[in-house]
Structure 1
Amino acid sequence: MLPPDLPPLPALTRAECDLVESYLEVVDLLGRINPTRTNDTYAALRAAQALVGRATALREALTLMHDRGESSLHPVTLSRALRVLDGERRAARLTVPPEQAS
């Protein structure tokens, strides 16, 4: 049995695609660094080192949009794209998990 089809991504400019991709990569790296969700300092260190490059890509996507005259973001459209790309689950790793009852 095949998995259900994902909804299609909304139409985005190339710069918006780069923005969404870079943002999610930063979110993934921050999730790997989150001290409440990892036990491995080496993995967190590697994620922190990679974060610099991904933050640069995120800045470059926003700079390109600004330079092209794209002066506003479209939160509804970008939110749909993030949801299709599993952004909610990925961003959940940034939070502090609920306290365990003893």
Structure 2
Amino acid sequence: MLPPEPPPLPALTRAEGEFVDRYLEVVDLLGRINPARATDTYGALRAAQALASKAPALRDALTLMHERGETRVHAATLTRALRVLDGERRSGRVTVPPVSSS
């Protein structure tokens, strides 16, 4: 049995799609760096090194949107896209975990 099909992505401009993709790349790296969740320094170091190259790509995606006249961030639409792309779980790794009751 196949897993259920995820909902389709909402209609995005190419620049919005690039913005969401680059944002999630940065979030994934921040999750790997998060001292509350990291398992070793080498993995966190590698993620930090990669972050230095991914941050400009995120900036460039936003610059492209601005230059194309896309001056508003359509939060509701981009939120739907983030949910389809598992953004809630991915961004959850950036937070500090709740206090354990044990």
Corresponding position of 2:61: 61
Please give the TM-score of this superposition, normalised by the length of structure 1: 0.97
Corresponding position of 2:36: 36
Whole-Å separation in 2 of the counterparts to 1:30 and 1:57: 15
Whole-Å separation in 1 of the counterparts to 2:71 and 2:98: 38
Corresponding position of 1:7: 7
Alignment of 1:1-102 (within 5 A): 1-102=1-102
Q: CA deviation at 1:38?
A: 1.2
1:13-54 residue CA offsets vs partner (Å, 9 max, x unmatched): 111011000000000000000001012100000000000111
Query: What percentage of aligned pairs have identical amino acids?
Result: 72
SS of the aligned residue for 2:65 comes to helix
Count of aligned pairs between the two proteins = 102
RMSD: 0.7
**Structure 1 residue runs of 4 or more that deviate by more than 2 Å after TM superposition:** none
Extract unaligned runs of 5+ from structure 1: none
Whole-Å separation in 2 of the counterparts to 1:58 and 1:87: 16
Amino acid in the other structure paired with 1:13: T
SS of the aligned residue for 1:99 comes to coil
Q: CA deviation at 1:101?
A: 2.3
